[in-house]
Amino acid sequence: MCPKNKGAVFITGASTGIGRETALFFDKAGYRVFAGVRNAQAGESLLAEAAFQLTPIIIDITKPREIENAVHTVSQKLCPYEGITGIINNAGIVVGGPLEFMKIEDFRYQVEVNLIGQLAVTQSFLPMIRKAKGRVLFVGSGAGWFALPFSGAYAASKFALRGMADALRRELDQWQLHVVLIELGTVMTPIWDKSFSDTKQRVAEMGKEEQSLYDERGAAMEKLMRSGWKNSVLAEDVAKMILMAFEKKCPKARYQFGKDARMAVLSVFVPDCLKDWLIRNILKGKIPSALMGW
């Protein structure tokens, strides 16, 4: 017999942070949640907190075979007439560091996870989404509007994600399949520690001379990012907002959450030379970072 629920939802990157909170929140809200994680341990930890019908699904979104297996497992667990009410493309990483010395393979992996993997998962789940007249959500960022120094790879992935979400929305609207981009400012999640420690490692692998070129600005940027944490929002609140966007009959194309995300969007109206001057002077400590919403 098919269990009663509000519909099935597939979420990527559910082991920690926003994905974890969203998976648990949708579970409590009565959805049948398929939560993408990269190992069994992360799945067990989610199950220990789940209230309703959560199923961990092992998936690395850069691995076609794992995507295929995930689609197969989810479709086997659904009832024959059932589709997927929606997918939430949330998995993501931050590859930080100066672009001049970033290894091309690192840059490529950033785009692989934050952009190409998102499309690969979406394509594979679309037949099931179509069946339920479901929707596709992507988790974007203020960095998709405003690129900070040393976040070039991440910003490139989120700018591109915004473009891809726009195009997909305009392709799928003929069937009333909604595509929504959630654009976040700073959220307190493990992504920050992971990113700072990975970036430190990457910088340590650069030569001494290369390091010294970016030492000062890199340290100022890290300080600025850490100062942004005081305005950060909680992953639980992001999860509530994602549910709201997920359940809206006619959702907007984009939802911003966090003052810094809204400022990033508005920054398109500010001339680039002024934005460059602001960043330069904020990093020198001459202008308060609050001016940019951090």
- Binder to ligand NAP among 64, 190, 285, 288 (CB under 6 A)? 190
Among 12, 55, 151, 256, the residue binding ligand NAP under the rule CB under 6 A is 12
Pick the piece of the chain touching ligand NAP (CB under 6 A) from 85-93, 172-180, 202-210, 245-253. Answer: 85-93
Whole-angstrom Cα distance, residue 205 to residue 49?
39
* Cβ atoms of 15 and 62 closer than 8 Å: no
64 φψ region: left (φ > 0), alpha (ψ -120 to 50), beta (else): alpha
Cβ–Cβ under 8 Å, residues 130 and 100: no
Which residues on neighbouring strands pair with residue 141, listed in sequence order? 184
Q: Could you tell me the smallest distance in angstroms from the CB atom of residue 31 to ligand NAP?
A: 18
Is 38 a residue that touches ligand NAP (CB under 6 A)?
A: yes
Q: Is 231 in the site for ligand NAP (CB under 6 A)?
A: no
15 interacts with ligand NAP by CB under 6 A: yes
- Of 54-62, 71-79, 169-177, 206-214, which segment contacts ligand NAP by CB under 6 A? 54-62
Measured CA to CA, the distance from residue 74 to residue 89 in angstroms comes to: 16
Near ligand NAP by CB under 6 A, which window of 8-16, 24-32, 207-215, 281-289?
Answer: 8-16
Nearest to 22 by CA among 49, 3, 4: 49
Closer by beta carbon to ligand NAP, 144 or else 149: 144
Q: How far is the CB of 133 from ligand NAP (least distance, A)?
A: 25
Output the smallest distance, CB 95 to ligand NAP, in A. 11
b/e per residue, 158-168, with b = 16+ CB within 10 A?
bbbbbebbeeb
Residue of 54, 61, 70, 263 interacting with ligand NAP (CB under 6 A): 61
The dihedral region occupied by 184, where left means phi > 0, alpha psi between -120 and 50, and beta the remainder, is beta
Answer for the pair 16, 194: CB distance below 8 angstroms, yes or no: no
CB atoms within 10 A of CB 286: 9
Among 8, 46, 71, 91, binds ligand NAP (CB under 6 A): 91
**Would you tell me which residues interact with ligand NAP (CB under 6 A)?**
12-19, 38, 59-62, 90-93, 113, 139, 141, 184, 186-187, 189-191, 194
